[in-house]
Chain A
Amino acid sequence: EDQVTQSPEALRLQEGESSSLNCSYTVSGLRGLFWYRQDPGKGPEFLFTLYSAGEEKEKERLKATLTKKESFLHITAPKPEDSATYLCAVHPSNSGYALNFGKGTSLLVTP
Chain B
Amino acid sequence: DAGITQSPRYKITETGRQVTLMCHQTWSHSYMFWYRQDLGHGLRLIYYSAAADITDKGEVPDGYVVSRSKTENFPLTLESATRSQTSVYFCASSERENYNEQFFGPGTRLTVL
A residues lining the B interface (CB < 8 Å) = 4, 31-32, 34, 41-46, 49, 87, 89, 91, 96-104
Contact = CB atoms under 8 A, between A and B. Distances in A.
B42 A97 contact: no
Among B43, B50, B99, B101, the one with the most A-chain Cβ atoms within 10 Å of its Cβ is B43
Contact of A91 (B41, B44, B100, B106): B100
A49 B100 contact: yes
A91 B56 CA distance: 16
A98 B58 contact: yes
B43 A98 contact: no
Nearest to A91: B100
B41 A103 contact: yes
B45 A44 contact: no
Nearest to B109: A41
B103 interface: yes
Contacts of A4: 42
Interface in B64-93: 90, 92
A44 B92 CA distance: 9
Given A49-B100, A97-B31, A98-B48, A44 B41 contact: no
A4 B44 CA distance: 12
The 5 closest A-B pairs by CB, nearest first: A43-B104, A101-B42, A101-B43, A98-B45, A103-B42
B101 to A, nearest CB: 5
A99 B90 contact: no
B2 to A, nearest CB: 15
A40 to B, nearest CB: 11
A99 B31 CA distance: 13
A4 B43 CA distance: 12
